[in-house]
Structure 1
Amino acid sequence: MTRRLRRIAPLAFVLCPLAAATPAAAQDSATATALFDRGLADMEAGRYETGCKAIAESHRIEPKPGALFTLAICESRWGHVATAFAHFGDYLALHEQLTPEQKVRQGERPKVAKQEREKLAPLVPELALSLPPGAPAGTVVKRDGRVVDGAALGVSVPVDPGEHVVSTQAPGGPVQEARIQLAHGEKKRMELQVSGAAAPSADGTSSRRTAVFAAGGIGVAGLVLGGVTGALTLGKKSVVREHCGSRIGLSDETACDKTGMEAADSASTTGLVSTIGFGVGLAGLGAAAVLYLTEPKQSDTTAHATSRGIRAGVLAAGPDGVVLGASGAW
């Protein structure tokens, strides 16, 4: 290789990538120009939806101050006052970064942008979204299909007037959707609703809690059944006493008339059911107590939650019936 070629070779390695990139850049610029021209034509014809979207895409492909300014004008005419207000602000911030020569080429645009922002400011609606107290951790909030950052919840933010769709979804729960209408300059606060419980955590807390409820429910049902059938048994025994032995003139205390025999048979059946009911009830409440007392400790955020428990049973029993009781807090 000659000395001249050796000097040219390194320069070629630098220029070749630039040369290769030039057609692509030129193509992007042509695409951006075509989109801008089409968007401008649609905007002037009042087709703001297609016009603004085309101008926005043009600015995305090839960011230019003029395209951003025109996009702000389009959004303003479309009625998207919050979006237009933001775009005018972005244009003014960008204008400050231009060189003196570039600023001259912008002409009256900065002045117009400032005037438009002043006109739009009182027309911009604001919306503050918040979750209800006790909403499950990890609940996702969306506004018009976009996720709302947790830091923005409870904060009044500018939005365009018109209808907005907001939704919430707890981990493992269904999506709950709501719609809200905002007029120009209106400010609203909205506490969202959350449906469904959180998905089971890593330590199985939710599944354990379900088991506690199930066992407790079976226990209460068992005690109620035992109490009711026990009361019936006591009632039947009083009938037996009235229709057996000396009460009906017989010396054999085990001898009964027809009514006494029927009552004795019925008392035997209800007595057995009562015994089984109390057994199931006590076993169910015992299992619920064990599950509850051995549940892993909750995190600090729920450490001060209201104490929970359940008590149920027969408070009193006698020949005339029984008194049942059940109380609890969950």
Structure 2
Amino acid sequence: MARLLFSLLLASVCVSGATAQTAPEGTDERALARSLFHQGLECLDAEDFQCAAERFARSQELRPSPVVAYNLASALARIGQVVRAAELLRWVRRSDANEQVKTAAATLLQQVTPRVASWTLQTTGNPEGATFYLDDRALPEQTVGVRAPVDPGEHRVDARRNGETVATAEFSVTEGGRVPVSIEVPPPPVPSPEEIAAQAGEPRVITVVREDPAQQAAERAHRRRVRRGAIIGAALAVVAVVVIVAVVVHEPEQAQPIAGNFGPGVVEIGE
């Protein structure tokens, strides 16, 4: 198998070498990618498929290639990571690789696809604000409630809220099997007033106003003057009332008119 994969890569390496003559700016990455690929082949010869997958993955990240992707898929399939292997093989079939590589990818894909298992994540409780993780890998929101592909074997799903794990469920699935997984998520804690204010972006601000001592003294003097003015005004009003009363009491009586006959006077002449 390793010899076949090496022969498939050889053409890719030669093409890369020819390209390097016209695009030397990528020489370091290309050389490292080639070295990682050969290390992956050595791991395959030693039947260390975990090591082979790790070396092929690094090579693919540096210099994506259908041939490297095919070899990476082969190693992943050996260690049970059939979901990723199947996606890589589909990518190889859509690529501009030669027919030999595409045919090999199609053949391996037929062997890998039936091994892919599936699971359905079902939530109960209150999942508001929770993010779900499968084997410490964050899941898209669209995963909940639908059947999703998964590698066969043991798995753990976590519900996390604000970085804290609030619920956990474990499950196992066989190759090609299907399994529903239910996880109960507790409701989020009730936020404190301070947390509500922080989330609203309105921090509580306390303004301290300090009074000027000179201003305080001036205000006190003003209040004293107002009080003295009021007292003096009230005293003057009392005095005025007393004077008026005294004048009225001691005023002399006016002469009363004499009642009498207002007819024409009569002059009497004595005898």
TM-score (norm. length: structure 2): 0.58
Larger helix fraction of residues:
1
Cα distance, 1:119 vs. partner?
2.2
Structural mapping, 1:192-231, within 5 Å? 192-195=183-186, 197-200=188-191
Could you say which residue in structure 2 is the equivalent of 1:169? Answer: 160
Are 1:115 and 2:137 counterparts? no
Distance 2:164 2:30 in 1: 47
The residue type equivalent to 1:161 in the other structure is: P
Cα distance, 1:166 vs. partner?
1.0
Q: Compared with structure 1, are the counterparts of its residues 173 and 63 closer, same or farther at alpha carbon in structure 2 (3 Å cutoff)?
A: closer
Cα distance, 1:142 vs. partner?
0.4
Distance 2:74 2:105 in 1: 9
RMSD: 2.5
Structural mapping, 1:34-183, within 5 Å? 34-94=35-95, 98=96, 103=97, 106-132=98-124, 134-171=125-162, 174-183=165-174
Cα distance, 1:157 vs. partner?
1.3
Q: Compared with structure 1, are the counterparts of its residues 107 and 192 closer, same or farther at alpha carbon in structure 2 (3 Å cutoff)?
A: same
The answer to whether the 8 A contact 2:128-2:187 is kept is no
Cα distance, 1:136 vs. partner?
3.8
The answer to whether the 8 A contact 1:172-1:198 is kept is no
Cα distance, 1:169 vs. partner?
2.1
1:19-78 CA distances to partner (integer Å, 9 max, x unpaired)? xxx655100001001111101210232111111011011011001111011111111122
Distance 1:89 1:169 in 2: 33
Distance 1:131 1:202 in 2: 29
Secondary structure of the structure 2 residue equivalent to 1:200? coil
Q: How many residues align?
A: 175
Are 1:32 and 2:23 counterparts? no
The residue type equivalent to 1:125 in the other structure is: A
Distance 1:172 1:53 in 2: 28
Distance 1:165 1:188 in 2: 13
The residue type equivalent to 1:160 in the other structure is: D
Secondary structure of the structure 2 residue equivalent to 1:192? strand
Q: Compared with structure 1, are the counterparts of its residues 166 and 136 closer, same or farther at alpha carbon in structure 2 (3 Å cutoff)?
A: closer
* Runs of 4 or more consecutive aligned structure 1 residues displaced over 6 Å after TM superposition: 201-205
The residue type equivalent to 1:163 in the other structure is: E
Structural mapping, 1:246-285, within 5 Å? none
Distance 1:114 1:83 in 2: 15
The residue type equivalent to 1:82 in the other structure is: V
Distance 1:139 1:201 in 2: 19
Secondary structure of the structure 2 residue equivalent to 1:79? coil
In structure 1, the gaps of 5 or more residues are 1-21, 206-330
TM-score (norm. length: structure 1): 0.48
Identity %: 25
Distance 1:135 1:184 in 2: 32
Distance 1:71 1:202 in 2: 53
The residue type equivalent to 1:25 in the other structure is: G
Cα distance, 1:176 vs. partner?
2.5
Secondary structure of the structure 2 residue equivalent to 1:131? strand
The residue type equivalent to 2:159 in the other structure is: T
Could you say which residue in structure 2 is the equivalent of 1:190? Answer: 181
- Of 50-59 and 151-160, deviating more is 151-160
- Of 144-153 and 58-67, deviating more is 144-153
The residue type equivalent to 2:139 in the other structure is: V
The answer to whether the 8 A contact 2:41-2:52 is kept is yes
The answer to whether the 8 A contact 1:173-1:195 is kept is no
Distance 1:78 1:174 in 2: 29
The answer to whether the 8 A contact 2:127-2:186 is kept is no
In structure 2, the gaps of 5 or more residues are 1-22, 197-271
1:125-177 CA distances to partner (integer Å, 9 max, x unpaired)? 00121221x41411111011111111121121111111112101235864333
- Of 166-175 and 42-51, deviating more is 166-175
The residue type equivalent to 2:177 in the other structure is: E
Distance 1:172 1:75 in 2: 30
